[in-house]
Amino acid sequence: MTDNPIPTPDAPTVVPADESPTTESHRRGPAFKPTHPVALAPVGSPPHSVDGFVREFLHELNTTQGVALSRSSVNDQYLALATTVRNYLMARWLETGRKTHEAQAKTIGYLSAEYLLGRQLGNALLATQLNDIAEKGLAACGLDLATLRSQEVEPGLGNGGLGRLAACFIDSLATMNVPCIGYGIRYEYGIFRQTFVDGRQVEQPDTWLSLGSPWEFPHPESAVQVDFAGHTETYDDHGVTRSRWIPEWNVLGVPYNYMVPGYLNGRVNTLRLWSAQATKAFDLQIFNAGDYASAVRAQTFAENISKVLYPEDSTPQGKELRLQQQYFFVACSLRDFINELDPDFDLHKLPERIIYQLNDTHPVIAVPELMRILVDEKKWEWDEAWEVTKQCFAYTCHTLLPEALEVWPVSLLGRLLPRHLEIIYRINDEFLAEVREAFPGDELRARRMSIIAEYPERGVRMAYLATIAGTKVNGVAALHSQLLRDKVLPDFSEMWPDKFTNVTNGITPRRFIRMANPKLSELVTDAIGSGWVTDLERLQELEPYADDEDFREGFRKAKAWNKERLANLLVQRDGISLPPGHLVDVMVKRLHEYKRQSLKIMHVISLYEQVLSGKITASDITPRTVVFGAKAAPGYKMAKDTIYLINAVAKTVNADPRLEGRLTVAFPANYNVTLAEKLIPAADLSEQISLAGMEASGTGNMKFALNGALTIGTDDGANVEIRELVGDENFFLFGMREPEVAALAASGYNPGSLYANNPQLKATIDLIASGVFSSDPHAFDGIVGNLLHQDRFMVFADFDSYMAEQAEVERAYADEDRWTRSAILNVARCGFFSSDRAMRDYLKRIWHTGPLL
């Protein structure tokens, strides 16, 4: 037995204050005035020359990796290269921190559960203009830059559009010279590495840290303690009754800093990711008693918090872990920024120094956390704390699906964060008093707007809390923002119409054109100069070149080069062979029913059925390769069944000689940013086929259009704005508009009737049900039954329109000049979709700050 029981999920402990790091370990700066001239000088950067680069590289290889060039492994060489390039950014990073601190500049605190960064080396080489120098320097050492670049493992810090958007935004803010700290979690194993076993998705740990991560800087001396569970109590504070939280257990959040370089401007912002560690990780007494597993149980329990992105939450334990994650990273982030302020800083002026952008509902628990700090720790009055808090947050909603707006059970939140639940109750009580005053006698409205939901169980509606506390609420595309006001949060938009705004998403042209598509970038730069990389609206200058025969030929050669590059990668990466000369038709995005991957694979199945039944011949099909890329959430059965159907169809049609190789399907596993950078530039056709009114925005649609793919899509999300900009003649529009979708749903949608009365739709579904794609005749009963009897996202209703527009795609593709001209105009007219423009919109409409000059 021991007097200090090991924490378990049932009985964690709190570490006493005297066991925390000493004050001395938190000191900033020297203990006394330095005298050496080098110590007094600014931080230097290695010489920007081949010789300087080689010396720095060999120094890192020898002293950091501890190996000679002659005995170094490829991983040694990559790590030395990464740290060398990192060193060229170091002086800029430290100088950025100094200038920001001295200017007391307002900072954007971007709170996001995901950052889908992609590989860092290429972006760092681009930002430092080192690519040619590195290539020559490494060649002089007998090394190949491309080989070392391929050694890098992509950070497992995100899943899809939300995380990729966050990465684009922090890139743009650095490029625009705006102070920003991105805050998130350093997931040890990411979301998962997707593999296929007999066509079914199997999740494997994403061991992205196993060979080292040279781009991060751990700072254990700056660890933040985060408390959980326990109870609250009231006490008398000189005649004032106050509350305090008596936590039951706690963990440490250790910050890992990543550099976020701006493009050729000298600024390097910071991404700060938090890793969970136990406050008391190892019990020597229990270890010496021979119970080795129990001796480290506290460490295991604490570290679960930052193990994986979006832990499976179909169990109570999974739900609790997700809430632990969310509170963990925002508690660390708020404490971190406040701790970095000068000791005499007046927190009443906190909104002048930072605004926290809540990237979806995941970080919304930050609102009651800031209130707790101000009211409980700083002993402010409630009203003054609430006034400051309301100025420190803004909320971006990324969804229109009710199930995607987080609602935490009161029982769970009260058990894990009891003081925060008390604060939320008071926020709600005071807010509902405002509602009743503004709308007297309308008690149903008050119930609808309450932060606390009563059905099906008592829960805290995090989107409502964010809307009440935020200075602004924004959607991420024009249609989405309108539907957000009209359908998702209509009572709130009626009460506060000026609080709602729109910022259409954007993507960074540095990574997704300049880096990902070098041949197109060269063509564009030769035509209009290099300034487009930071001023993407300049792509409009390409419009006249759409009618230039030489430019069209150069554009086609760039696309062909991209296709060849993709084919080489897929052979090496996945053993997938892409037939030459095919239209490359791409649908890559998170696997979800509303995105309608099922409609895309039904198009393939329908073409296959028509050949089998003799309605058409193989020669009638335009040679086409359909490429899918998607991960399904581990507990999302319908999504995983759809993956199995896609792979089963691919296996069948790719092997059927009756198709004469004119229709193939490819589904490379583990789609990520690294693959996207090769796949998107190679695409001819971009599939953006969600049911109208379901997709918030999309950013893949922007990447494809800016890289010269034409879009087939519904009027949904940012598709609406893409179509308006590029013109109807350069966009393949199909399907119902959102009002038609709403009307059909209201009138009583009957997918079974559509199946019975549409011969080609019936033949397509019957082929799936026949067992031709699987040895198990019932393998796809779930998909077929769902479509026939529910079809929540109206695949059947849009089937005919989609098939007709795909026929139009084939006619357009047959006219090479017409297709190329449309593709060039897509590039030329989509400069609006830069994340730089999106950041300017946020700065003007929401954050009310600007670049640090």
**What SS3 class is residue 66?**
coil
Residue identified by tokens 């990237």 is 359
Strands 249-261 and 216-218: antiparallel
Catalytic residue among 272, 703, 821, 829: 703
Catalytic residue among 589, 596, 603, 640: 589
Rounded Cα–Cα distance for residues 417 and 804 (Å):
54
Partners of 195 in the beta sheet?
Answer: 202
- Catalytic status, residue 195: no
Best CA proximity match to 536, nearest among 241, 840, 301:
840
E-only strand ranges, 88-151: 107-111
Rounded Cα–Cα distance for residues 123 and 131 (Å):
10
Host H or E run for residue 245? strand 240-246
Rounded Cα–Cα distance for residues 392 and 698 (Å):
27
Catalytic residue among 272, 322, 499, 595: 595
The torsion defined by the Cα of 461, 463, 466 and 467, in degrees rounded to 10, comes to -110
Residue 20 tokens, joined: 């925390």
- Catalytic status, residue 398: yes
Catalytic residue among 396, 699, 764, 820: 699
Rounded Cα–Cα distance for residues 769 and 546 (Å):
46
- Catalytic status, residue 589: yes
Amino acid (one-letter) located at 526? D
Amino acid (one-letter) located at 419? R
- Catalytic status, residue 762: no
Residue identified by tokens 């009618």 is 547
- Catalytic status, residue 231: no
Catalytic residue among 86, 164, 398, 603: 398
The span from the first CA to the last CA of the chain, in angstroms, equals 62
Host H or E run for residue 104? none
Distances (CA, A) of 82 to 58, 64, 267: 12, 11, 19
Q: How many CB atoms lie within 10 A of CB 336?
A: 18
Host H or E run for residue 629? strand 624-629
The torsion defined by the Cα of 727, 729, 731 and 736, in degrees rounded to 10, comes to 90
Rounded Cα–Cα distance for residues 159 and 590 (Å):
8
Strands 393-396 and 473-475: parallel
Catalytic residue among 164, 582, 590, 603: 590
- Catalytic status, residue 300: no
Residues annotated as part of the active site: 398, 589-590, 595, 699, 703
